[in-house]
Structure 1
Amino acid sequence: MSNNWLKSGSMRAPCISILLLCEEHTDYLWIKSVLETQDDFNVAVHWCATPDDVERCFEQHQYQIIFLDSAFAVQDSLTFLNYLTVISDHIPIISFGANDENACLQSTFRAGGADYLCKQSLSGWAIEKAVRFALFRHESEKQLTARTSIDSLTGVVNRKLFFDRLNQCLHRAERNKELVGILILNIDDFQCINENFGYKAGDELIRSVATRIKQVLRKPDSVARLSGDEFSIVLESLDSFYSCIRVADKLIDVLQAPFTIEQDSIKMTASIGIACFPETGKNAEDLVKCANRAMLNAKDEHGNSYQYYNKKMNSKLSHNLQMEADFRKAIRNGELRLFYQPRIDIFNNELVGMESLVRWQHPSRGLLTPDHFIELAERTGMIVPMGYWVIDQASRDLAQMQAMGYLDLICSVNLSFRQFLDRKLSETIFRIIFNAGVNPSSIELELTESTMMKDLDATQRCLAEISQLGIAFALDDFGTGFSSFSYLHKLPISTLKIDKSFIDDLESPFDSQNIVKAVINLAHNLQMNVVAEGVENESQLRFLQKNYCDQVQGFYFGHPVPYDQFLPVLRKFYPATKLSSL
């Protein structure tokens, strides 16, 4: 807005629209007359005589300034002044009344007013001066707010201005009986993007995400950046809750296309939480809190998904947040445990290796299997340090076994996709194995089909680099993913592991038998070993022997157990003739 109306001069200034709130018609006529007779002071005075009509006035007109008789709302004038500040979008409010200025000025400021004038000393010059100064200060504050309330990286509003605007939006919605939607959008795994492409690329990605979000929104809608990788979207005047769903779908679609940042093509996913006014919450803080809880729930869907808040999420989220807080301390407090399950050569019944499986000795919940914490480890990024802990502990345990004479054991360790995003993966693995003093060829890293297919090119590069260290790779849960057969020859994989679900069904439908036979033949044709997981009875074992499966693991030979309990299993199945006399 131009501030020409602040200046005196010979040219007629733009009209200043003033709302006068006073009950007495004589006061209205008097102040209107005083204002309109001032030279070079072009005003249009609108009168409101009762508090009940105030909101209707704002629906019908826009004002630059408000004059408020302190007796207008008799019960609590300061509370009413504060209310006016909110519904008027913080335009200047000048109060006037019978009390002395010195007595009322500070309380007026605290309630959001711009000035206070005593009725006894009111004059045309005093009113004009107060109006000009209030408008000048308001314009200066707007310019300062614009500089301090806009996110410098993206150009969208920041957290502070977002909450101010949301409060005003909710007040309008309450007055007009309208629906408002709040969406919290969080970029998944943004820390990994920063670590792998650099913080400059991360900033550029944030800018590009903000641009794409704005492309989806209508003019009345607004977007804010709440934190490093989190945005909030306010959707006003909605027809129904389904309008939020449509916008969420559009956001997911527009963010799925790769981002070209300098020379890199970056794929990202986002999780969105949705909350609606007035159904979900009555104020800005509650709505944002609920939308944030829904967003965290959406992260369980592993990217590019959204969730609408419901009350059941409260207890689930509280549980998840507590588990997350506990897990962040688990590695530091030494609460992780490594269990081992034997891998047996199917024809000579000899132990050839073991799979390392992580457990969490929770201080109050007891021993937890991975299904209780792997998802939260993935979501929080703790899967990376946990994965390195597993490799380190497995290497140390393997070194002790080799020191006892068990030299040719293979120890397999699971890798997650998050670890593949760590550019120091091969360097870190080599350092861990070197420090433990084990031969790299004794370590086999397992990855799943879903992990491999998330980014085949990146997986291919990473496996090629690690395989140069002499480490072998196994493809776990084979047959449960997609397109694996066409990509097997591209990756340095030496072992296929048949998923337990196919072994479970060997005794019922013939389809599973045919699939298992096909996988065994495929592996052998590609010069790979094949391991059947989940073998629990002799019938399954006989079928696998008959079809020349190489190795098996499962409860039939042993449950996963800690290192000290695994040693008797090792002695039972490891051939004495192979035992070194070291």
Structure 2
Amino acid sequence: MSEHVGQSLMNPDQSGVRAVSCTEDNVDVLAIVKSHCDFLWLQHLTAAESDIQLYWCNSIPMAMDILRKRKFDMVLWEENQFDGDKDSFLRILSHHADAPVIALGPFAEERRARSLILAGAADYLCKSSLDASLLVRALRRAWYRELYRLDFEMREQLDSLTGILDRARFYDRLHQAILRAERVKHRVGLIFVNVDEFRTVNQSLGYRAGDILIKMMAARLRQVLRRSDCLARVGGDEFAVILEDGQESFSLINVAKKMANVFEQAFVVNQHPVNLTASMGMAVFPESGDSADLLLRRANQAMFDAKKEHGVSYRFFNDRMNRELDMRLELETEFRQALRGDKLDLYYQPKIDVRSGEVVGMEALVRWPHPRLGVLTPAAFIAAAERSSLIIPMGYWVLERACRDLNMLQTMGYDDLVCAVNLSFRQFFDRRLSETVFRIIYNANIDTTKFEFELTESAMMFDRDYTLKCLKELTHLGLRFALDDFGTGYSSFTNLRNLPISTVKIDKSFIENVCTIAEDATLVSGMISLAHSLSMTVVAEGVEKPEQLEFLRQHNCDQAQGYWFARPLPFHEFCDFLQVAGDLRRLRKQ
């Protein structure tokens, strides 16, 4: 569904819907009226009310289908849209909409209005006497009555101690979430939480203190969950969370981690600190079960598996997921140890001047010599580093090691090389980024103009104002910035214009087919021309064939890197590469 102001969901001449934008604060009204002119008239009557948004549908079958797929806050129904028993149809419509239905009729008939209201209509409005004031008042009155009913219903089904959903309401929510997921082919995640040894807390501190602890736990859990996540108390010391639209199982792990952090800090009851742990079981629809009962049983079973471990723990029901979770947690632990123990390594891939063939710089690329798995590239561990926030200290480690190696290169006579270092968007989470970068480079006694930071567009999108501030501060220190993977982001041209970028790197996916696909050749040629018009240097990534290099030379690309020249090399091999390249250059001059 399109949700842009003034855009239709379907064309007026089709059996469909026309709408304006909607947000969480809007009252969304489905207007089932035959004529598009009538819809525009209703829209005009509500134009002054920015929170009332009308959607048009001119077909009863289409309306019923839409109501099955989407929730509306209210329905405006023109009764002559149905030729049969209108009272019976109104009951069916109200059931499908699960929202107030206001009937529109051509005449002001008291008996007709009474009949429809008794059949379930929230109100009856006569089109011939309808004006803006009357329509808005009827809509708001029906909406406020519905809010009151929902609030009363909710209060009746909340856990009296914690104020969150009780078991009955939770079970209904889980069932409805599964039905929605079935329709749209999504997944539903369930996390079942049991507080370990809570009985001993009740026995030692008393049941009143136990109730206070349960309330405190519920409050903390609510703080770390999203508004869309459904938290419920399903037992004396048990909680459950429903997560909808989970596209990957690891999103459950992220939520479980946040919930585990809730128990890191002691709970203070009557000035007594109480340390608690919890066991969590996770299950995913449809992999772990295709019904609310089965999903709940599987999550409960996984929770008991988690209890076999010490401290706060969580497990998947699915064995494959458990194996993946174990491998991921083990990899994160090993990576943390490798970073702290200075067990990482830095490789360098040379950048070549396309015209002269000389080495003009290099890109620093981190590698992890794993004792069991061999040398790992960032693809194997960068996600773990970002999830565990190790990406920030790793980024500074890379910069320090690059400074050390660049210093050695300068003592060997390679004074003009520019070293490029990748900067993750998560490093912008560190509010002392500029200060730390300057300190590392200053302490290494390196010319800042010999460094270039490569950023992806995701880094640009993080807190744009703060990012721009950091980039300007670092630019004033002499550092340069390159936009990595250019051509793959949705806002590349905006970034080129507004950010202090001096280099663009054309993504290797374009270079790969530049000699075989005309569209890619046109795109690469255009990117080079655009960057040059903005006085920027262009670097082509992923050059693996001589014909690719020749194409770049013909289109005046500045620099290239890729396997045609060299793979990423350990520092000592990179030094050998520079030596051979220098010897060849001297031979050509003779």
TM-score range, shorter chain: 0.5 to 0.7
Aligned partner of 2:402 in structure 1 is: 394
Distance 1:466 1:284, change over 3 A: same
Q: Does 1:147 align with 2:166?
A: no
Q: Deviations over 1:183-213 (max 9, x none)?
A: 66856998xxx9xxxxxxxx9xxxxxxxxxx
Contact persistence 2:281–2:300 (CA under 8 A): no
Q: How far did residue 575 of structure 1 move?
A: 8.5
Written as runs of structure 1 = structure 2, the 5 A alignment for 1:26-41 is none
Give the match for residue 317 of structure 1: 325
Matches within 5 A, 1:214-229: none
* Structure 2: distance between partners of 1:187 and 1:279: 18
SS at match of 2:496: helix
SS in structure 2 at match of 1:342: strand
What do the CA deviations read for 1:11-69 (whole angstroms, capped 9, x no partner)?
xxxxxxxxxxxxxxxxxxxxxxxxxxxxxxxxxxxxxxxxxxxxxxxxxxxxxxxxxxx
SS in 2 for 1:279: helix
The equivalent of 1:449 in structure 2 is: 457
> Residues 283-329 of structure 1, C-alpha deviation per residue, up to 9 Å, x if partnerless?
754489999456xxxxxxxxxxxxxx633101111111111111010
Is the CA contact 1:276–1:287 (under 8 Å) kept in the aligned structure 2? no
The alignment's TM-score, normalised by the length of structure 2, stands at 0.53
Counterparts of 1:79-90 in structure 2 under 5 Å? none
Output aligned runs, 1:4-153, within 5 Å. 141-151=206-216
Contact kept, 8 Å, 2:455 with 2:482, in 1: the verdict is yes
Give secondary structure in 1 for the equivalent of 2:515: coil
Whichever residue aligns with residue 150 of structure 1, its letter is K
TM-superposition CA deviations, 1:396-423 (whole Å, max 9, x none): 1001111122111100000101111101
Equivalent residue letter for 1:428? T
Alignment-derived partner of residue 272 in structure 1 = none
Displacement after TM superposition at 1:559 (Å): 1.1
Among 512, 524, 529, the alignment partner of 2:520 is 512
Per the TM alignment, residue 279 of structure 1 is displaced from its structure 2 partner at its CA by 3.1
Counterpart in the other structure of 1:523: 531
Which amino acid counterpart does residue 295 of structure 2 have in structure 1? C
Residue in structure 1 matched with residue 433 of structure 2 by the alignment: 425
- Any conservation in 2 of the 1:158–1:226 contact (CA below 8 Å)? no
Q: What secondary structure, in the 3-state scheme, does the structure 2 residue paired with 1:474 have?
A: strand
Amino acid at match of 2:533: N
Task: Determine if the alignment matches structure 1 residue 334 to structure 2 residue 342.
Answer: yes
Distance 1:463 1:492 in 2: 7
- Provide the secondary structure at the position in 2 that maps to 1:278: helix
Residues 463, 492 of structure 1: 8 Å contact kept: yes
Q: Does 1:348 align with 2:413?
A: no
Partner of 1:278: 297
RMSD between aligned residues: 4.2
Task: Report matched runs for 1:158-237 at 5 Å.
Answer: 166=234, 186=254
Instruction: Tell me the amino acid that sits aligned with residue 521 of structure 2.
Output: Q
Cα gap change, 1:155 to 1:495, in 2 (>3 Å) = closer
Deviation of the 1:362 alpha carbon? 1.0
When residues 451 and 231 of structure 1 are mapped into structure 2, their CA distance, relative to the original with a 3 A threshold, is farther
Q: Mark the runs of 5 or more structure 1 residues left unpaired by the alignment.
A: 1-111, 114-136, 172-179, 195-202, 204-224, 235-239, 245-274, 295-308
The aligned amino acid for 2:212 is: R
Determine if the alignment matches structure 1 residue 550 to structure 2 residue 550: no
Shift of 1:372: 1.0
SS of corresponding position for 1:353: strand
Q: For 1:424 and 1:455, how far apart are their aligned partners in 2?
A: 15
Contact 1:496 1:528 in 2 (8 A): yes
Query: Is the CA contact (8 Å cut-off) linking 1:281 and 1:287 kept in structure 2?
Result: no
Question: Does 2:469 match 1:404?
Answer: no
Output one character per residue of 1:223-247: Cα deviation in whole Å (capped at 9) or x when no partner: xx9999x99999xxxxx95779xxx
**Number of equivalent positions:** 352
* Structure index of larger Rg: 1
TM-score by length of 1: 0.54
Does the C-alpha gap of structure 1 residues 350 and 408 become closer, same or farther in structure 2, counting only changes over 3 Å? same
In the alignment, the residues of structure 2 paired with residue 530 and residue 369 of structure 1 have an alpha-carbon distance, to the nearest angstrom, of 25
Which has the higher mean CA deviation after the structures are superposed, 533-542 or 399-408?
399-408
**Letter of the aligned partner of 1:467 in structure 2?**
T
Displacement, 1:518? Answer: 1.1
Look up the match of 1:74.
none
Q: Are the counterparts in 2 of residues 170 and 284 from structure 1 also a CA contact under 8 Å?
A: no
Q: Which has the higher contact order (CA 8 A, sep 6+)?
A: 1
Q: Could you tell me which residue of structure 2 aligns to residue 382 of structure 1?
A: 390
CA separation of 1:283/1:476 partners in 2, compared to 1, >3 Å: closer, same or farther?
closer
DSSP 3-state at the match of 1:457: helix
Residue 158 and residue 449 in structure 1: after superposition, are their counterparts in 2 closer, same or farther (change >3 A)?
A: closer
Match in the other structure for 1:564: 572
Q: Distance in 2 between matches of 1:558 and 1:149?
A: 61
* Percent of aligned pairs with the same amino acid: 43
Letter in 1 for 2:421: V
Q: State the distance in 2 between where 1:181 and 1:577 align.
A: 65
Structure 2 counterpart SS, 1:355: strand
Asked if the contact 2:482–2:501 (Cα under 8 Å) also holds between the matched residues in 1, the reply is yes
CA shift, 1:368, in A, is 1.0
| Structure-2 residue corresponding to 1:480 | 488
Q: Which amino acid aligns with 1:389?
A: W
For 2:436 and 2:237, the matched residues in 1 are separated by 51
- Compared CA separation, residues 395 and 280, structure 1 to 2 (3 A): same
Amino acid at match of 1:148: L
- Matched residues in 2 for 1:525 and 1:168: separation? 68
- Give the match's secondary structure for 2:345: strand
Q: How far apart, CA to CA, are the structure 2 residues paired with 1:462 and 1:187?
A: 30
Whole-angstrom CA distance in 2 between matches of 1:388 and 1:501: 29
1:166-195 C-alpha deviation (Å, 9 max, x unpaired): 555989xxxxxxxx87666856998xxx9x
In structure 1, distance between residues paired with 2:491 and 2:442: 36
**1:442-485, CA deviations, whole angstroms, 9 ceiling, x for partnerless residues?**
01000112322243333212211211111000011111111211
Deviates more, 1:180-189 or 1:403-412: 180-189
| Correspondence for 2:82 | none
SS at match of 1:398: helix
Distance in 1 (CA, whole Å) between partners of 2:207 and 2:454 is 58
Say if 1:187 and 1:241 are closer, same or farther in 2 by CA, change over 3 A.
same
Find the counterpart in structure 1 of residue 444 from structure 2: 436
Structure 1 residue 364 and structure 2 residue 383: aligned?
no
Question: Which AA in structure 2 matches 1:278?
Answer: R
